[in-house]
Amino acid sequence: MPKKYDSSDIQVLEGLEAVRVRPGMYVGSTGSRGLHYLLWEIVDNAIDEACNGYADRITVTLHADGSASVEDNGRGLPVDPHPQLGVSGLEVIFTKLHAGGKFNHEQYQYSGGLHGVGASVVNALSRWLQADVYLDGSHYRMRFESAYNPATQKTDAGKPVTPLVRVSGTRQRGTTVRFLPDDTIFEDCRFQSEQVRRRLRDLAYLNKGLRVAFVDETASDPEQRESVYLYDGGIADLVADLNRDKTTTHPHPIVFDEVNQGVRMSVAIQYTDGYTENLFSYVNNIPTGEGGSHEAGFRAGFTKAFNEYARKIGALKDKDPNLSGEDTREGITACLSVYVPNPQFEGQTKSRLGNTEVRPIIEAMIFGKMSAYLEDLKNAEVALAIVEKAARAAKVRDAARKARDLARQKNQLEAAPLVGKLASCTGRRAEENELLIVEGDSAGGSAKQGRDRRFQAILPLRGKPLNVERKQLDKVLGNEEFRSLITALGAGVGEDFQTAALKYHRVIILSDADQDGAHIRAILLTFFFRYMRPLVARGHVYIGLPPLYRVQRGSTTRYAYDDTELRRLTNASGRDYTIQRYKGLGEMNPEQLWETTMNPKNRKLLQVTLDDAADAERMVSLLMGDRVDPRREFIIRHANFNREDSFEKFV
């Protein structure tokens, strides 16, 4: 008999309780990304004070007790009673969802936060949170805690445990928020210092003249405990930093600033002698890794300005076709920072701007500014060098297009590179299928025999693929291994890449656990980053982690994935055991490979993400580029040659 279902079964979640029940709805996940999202929400509130002209200093501290604090010298959060709710504005901000001063534009013209959700969500998902406000000559404090309530048998989320109190008088102004993430909510409550450091550095670049300090009380190295970021050049300094290890076409970035119809735009552009486009965009200080209407407007206005200028100076004749966007942006490194009054971000992680009205505004501003720059006689030498570079790019474009079409068309010629290579799966649901890229025919044979052919396809690589860094697309497509990979994925390449056309939603790199395997991984990741970036940005790329050792004691077999696990297994096994060190996947028989590396129930996968595209650009250029000295310096500074896995952490 079916269980009775009536109104008493309907659960009403009030206040912040709903946040603790479904944290993923508010911060994306309960993993590292969600943990750091808490910090970014408080940081964003401080940055909003700065970008609206109310603050010029921010300090972020990771404390030894696991808490984090964000201090700014802005106006200070309001502490006067709320006219409708009768409690202080500070209490409203930290205890009420969808409450804040950012819904209209009287206090904040531009905002990157969650419009009132952010601060209260941080409070709800913390063990405790303390807010100190320095306002009108007084220091105020309020503390909130989440604790189990025996009477209701529930956790009271973010409840005030002290009233708003005036601590003392002060000349200081601003707000300090300190919170301890709840370890019953998050899988790991340790903030990653380098991730925080990178984000703060980029925020300092995006906010010219803003002093951003980072204090890490958890750092073992005293020199790493405090850093200060202050860039008077703003995003121009960011572009120069990204091109530090590259050969540039002109010495200083081209910089544009303009405001039109409430949209504020800052752009910095510098060309290199490379062949790929690197555009990093932000909206209200939020990185937009998947682009959006602002990037579309930038590209359209940029291409239009170049074509008009090229025809004006005779570089393009009447009979000549226009330069493509790819031609005009070959080798470009650019940062586009846009401030929009009412941004509409697509997706939980705010990675794409959806405001359609922004595109024509940005397009008009870029076209006007770029046209004026190109036509200014002071810039004639740089303008000519850029146009000549675009013209050279156009000459190889036809060859690249033919190769790209060859990789895209579904005909016999396209399928030829895959004959005898790809072992496809029988499943037709791309979201359930995965492509495993393995190293060599031996590993390929084991993987093909050991796989679950319903959803696993195998593509063996024969030899080491081409390092695509600083290679034009026609050279990349001339490489047989990459042609096979492009064909297998079925989603195109370069600007033609379409995530929706993917045949496999998990692309897993399975290479040997040695330096050659690590190098192959690095080459493949460089290819995906340069020519299929959405594949990485949307979380489709994974690294398979095969075991390093097989430990056998009698009829019992265990596998160790690192030296620490090996020591644990051998200590538990006593003396009567044997160890096999795997030098490659090809040494495993199909059953072992399935059990350890391919079976979704047992395997270990590392998802490749793109949390910081600018930092990824720095590392790819440094490690995979053709300038030897910076790479040597990096290796000498960071590598521990006494550890077998020292190379692994860089790839």
Which residues belong to the active site? 439, 512, 514, 516
Q: What is the DSSP letter of 296?
A: H
DSSP count for the chain of H helices, then E strands: 21, 24
Q: Taking each helix axis from N to C terminus, what angle separates 193-206 and 32-51, rounded to the nearest 10 degrees? A: 20
d(C-alpha 299, C-alpha 620), whole Å: 24
d(C-alpha 301, C-alpha 359), whole Å: 10
Q: What is the DSSP letter of 81?
A: B
Nearest in space to 69 (alpha carbons), one of 172, 173, 179: 179
Helix (H) or strand (E) holding 492: none
How far lies 280's CA from each of 73, 328, 362, in Å? 29, 17, 15
Largest Cα–Cα separation, the chain: 86
Structure tokens at 90: 């500070």
Nearest in space to 95 (alpha carbons), one of 145, 141, 135, 139: 145
Helix, strand, or coil (residue 93): helix
Q: Compute the C-alpha angle 401/509/448, nearest 5°.
A: 100
Question: Considering just the CA atoms, what is the radius of gyration of the chain in Å?
Answer: 27
Handedness of CA 607, 612, 615, 620 (dihedral sign): positive
d(C-alpha 587, C-alpha 583), whole Å: 7
**Burial code of 333-372, b = ≥16 C-beta within 10 A, e = fewer?**
bbbbbbbbbebbbeeebbbbbebeebbebbbbbbbebbbe
